[in-house]
Amino acid sequence: MRRKPIERHQTLREKILETIREAILKGSLKPGEKVAEPELAERFGISRTPIREAFRQLESEGYLTVIPRKGAVVTSLSERDVEEFYAIKSILEGYAARIAAERLTDRDIERLEGINNRLEQLARDGDVKTFFRVHNEFHELFIRAAGNEKLFDLISHLMMKFNRPRMASLALPGRMEISVQEHHKIIEAFKAHDGERADNLVRKTAAYGGQVLIQSLAKEEGRRVEKSVLRRSIDV
């Protein structure tokens, strides 16, 4: 008897999360702009408690900053934030890929290929939200295969905290298609059990993701940028 309200609460919470994430990624909510609790509560017909829970979740993902007695505002994303995140990501994921190259089974590699095939279709469809989720599955598979739980937990925590820049990078025109190409090269390295190549590919892929996003931030701020890196592919 008690399960229905819980399910409704969870469904509404997910809708709130999705609504705010999309508004931020599409630019409807700008950095520094306040996200109004009363408007959301009225829109979804609920109390402010689940709204605040959603705000805390979004804060952990880097979308919002909750200020005591003032409410939630959209977190500003600086070039330094992006550079530091992708620098750490490249090192940790590259290390995981190096180890995984020696441990991945044929079945694991088949799963990676299946995931990447699905990503290719999602890129054609322009489904960024589902692409992001399935993209995570691809990376989680080889990171888990490294067999280091501490490493997996560390990367997972980092990824969650920086969901916003990761999603923003994938949402840029052409980025999903290039991501599929990058994954294909990584899979080939795994097939050859070439840990060094897998490490290099994953590191360069992360660095590229950061470069693309930094370029986008510069454009938003009206600064001059070099020729788009989106036309380039990872060449190792």
- Tell me the residue range of the domain where 58 lies: 3-74
pLDDT of residue 8: 47
CATH number of the domain residue 218 falls in: 1.20.120.530
221 has a pLDDT exceeding 70: no
Does the residue 94 lie in any domain?
Answer: yes
**Helix and strand element counts for the chain (H, E):** 10, 3
Question: Is residue 167 domain-shared with residue 196, that is, in the same domain?
Answer: yes
Question: Is residue 68 domain-shared with residue 131, that is, in the same domain?
Answer: no
Identity of the amino acid at 83: E
Could you list the beta-strand ranges (E) of the chain: 34-35, 64-67, 71-74
pLDDT of residue 135: 98
Tokens of 112: 């990676």
How many structural domains is the chain composed of? 2
Residue 68 class from Cβ within 10 Å (0-12 exposed, 13-18 middle, 19+ buried)?
exposed
> Strand pairing partners for 35?
72
- Is the pTM for the entire model greater than 0.95? no
Question: Is residue 49 domain-shared with residue 156, that is, in the same domain?
Answer: no
Question: Is residue 69 domain-shared with residue 87, that is, in the same domain?
Answer: no
Question: Is residue 156 domain-shared with residue 186, that is, in the same domain?
Answer: yes
Going from the C-alpha of 99 to that of each of 4, 95, 107, 131, the distances in angstroms are: 45, 6, 17, 26
Please list the helix, strand and coil fractions of the chain in percent, rounded to the nearest 5, in that order.
75, 5, 20
Does the residue 236 lie in any domain?
Answer: no
Residue 236 banded pLDDT, cuts 50, 70, 90: low
**Section 196-217 average pLDDT:** 91
Contact 73, 67 (CB under 8 A): yes
Tokens of 3: 């399960």
Give the model confidence (pLDDT) of 115-154 as tens digits.
Answer: 999 999 999 999 999 999 999 999 999 999 999 999 999 9
Give the model confidence (pLDDT) of 48-75 as tens digits.
Answer: 888 888 999 999 888 899 998 888 999 8
- Averaged confidence pLDDT in the chain: 87
Quick one: which of 129, 145, 171, 150 has its CA closest to 15? 129
pLDDT of residue 126: 95
Give the model confidence (pLDDT) of 80-90 as tens digits.
Answer: 888 999 999 99
Residue 138 class from Cβ within 10 Å (0-12 exposed, 13-18 middle, 19+ buried)?
buried
**Section 9-36 average pLDDT:** 83
CATH number of the domain residue 56 falls in: 1.10.10.10
